[in-house]
Amino acid sequence: MLTAYRHHYSETFFWNKIWCFAKSAGKKMITLALTLYACFRDADTPAWAKTVILGALGYFIFPLDQLPDIAPLVGYADDFGVLTAALAMVAAHVKPEHRAWAETKVSILFHYFVSKPSKDPA
């Protein structure tokens, strides 16, 4: 799985996907992705778990998957399934601080979308 998605994964692509699609993907999806990301970045997470996470995050940001992600309600079903399965596989290595970090980032991100003016005041 790692080799299949490795060339599609980069932190830049990941953060661009989070930023551009957060509102349409929803809080649950973004929290899930960020929780896995935090676990991936943890030095205590074993290599096999990082491989699972990298595969799932690579699928999440895979560029050819962007068209289906535009479809309301069903566009992220496959991404959600992959991320959920990855989380289930590595759950023993997900720490409370990973979840807390993800929830904090999601709170900040969605606060920005809510507080951002919809039109330019000019």
pLDDT at 97: 98
Roughly what angle, to the nearest 10 degrees, separates helices 47-61 and 11-25? 60
Token duo for residue 23 = 């509102």
Q: Mean pLDDT of all residues in the chain? A: 81
What pLDDT is recorded for position 116? Answer: 58
Residue whose pair of structure tokens reads 């606060």 in the numeric block? 111
**Average pLDDT of 78-83?**
89
75 in Cβ contact with 68 (< 8 Å): yes
> CA 38, CA 80: separation in Å to the nearest integer?
17
Q: pTM to 2 decimals?
A: 0.77
Type and span of the H or E element at 103: helix 96-115
